[in-house]
Amino acid sequence: PPPPEAVLRPLREAARRPGVRLEIKGPVAALHYRAAPSAGAACLAAAEAARAAVPDLVVQPGKMVVEVKPAAASKGRALARMMRMAPFAGRRPVAIGDDATDEDAMAAAMALGGIGVKVGEGPSRAGFRLADPARLRAWLAAQLAALRAGPPPAPAGD
């Protein structure tokens, strides 16, 4: 379910600023202010007001975004749940991110036998790092080509 109205009210007010966008992802609400960098402090204040409205919420700042979410919610927990579902069970998860809000997913992917890839600079728990989105696109293209080629043939026997 989406966050309660008491949480959304201050976030909607902040989203009235030009260049600020409110995104609701299930129980998580995020204020994006990439198009209005000067609105960062106001977005953080709105997120803190939203957090104070309901117990057990946390504020997670990121790159030009601030999230308000239940303390128990994380991208890592969501990934772990997904990996138990039929389409994903038994597969190797790959989590790619460029922000602090992606760290839980990258750590979960690695804990589940997959890989975490950090794009860009900054601290990270990811096992791999790519310098920028262009390098990510090249890596993804190489992975896709390898998948399309299929497994290498078995060695010929004598």
Q: Closest Cα partner for 117 from 96, 143, 139?
A: 96
Domain(s) labelled CATH 3.30.70.1020 in the chain stretch across 5-70
Which CATH code of 1.20.120.1630, 3.40.50.1000, 3.30.565.10, 3.30.43.10 fits the domain covering 75-149?
A: 3.40.50.1000
Q: Calculate the average pLDDT of the chain.
A: 94
- Report, as an integer, the average pLDDT of 146-153: 88
Segment holding 115, helix H or strand E? strand 115-119
Q: The whole model's pTM is what? A: 0.73
67-109: per-residue pLDDT in tens? Answer: 999 998 889 999 999 999 999 999 999 999 999 889 999 999 9
Dist CA 151 CA 102 (whole Å): 31
9-44: per-residue pLDDT in tens? Answer: 999 999 999 999 999 999 999 999 999 999 999 999
Q: What is the CATH number of domain 5-70?
A: 3.30.70.1020
Domain(s) labelled CATH 3.40.50.1000 in the chain stretch across 75-149
Q: Does the pLDDT value for residue 158 go beyond 70?
A: no
Contact between 65 and 28 (Cβ < 8 Å): no
Contact between 81 and 112 (Cβ < 8 Å): no
* Distance from chain centroid for Cα 117: 12
Dist CA 2 CA 9 (whole Å): 13
79: phi then psi, degrees, rounded to nearest 5? -65, -45
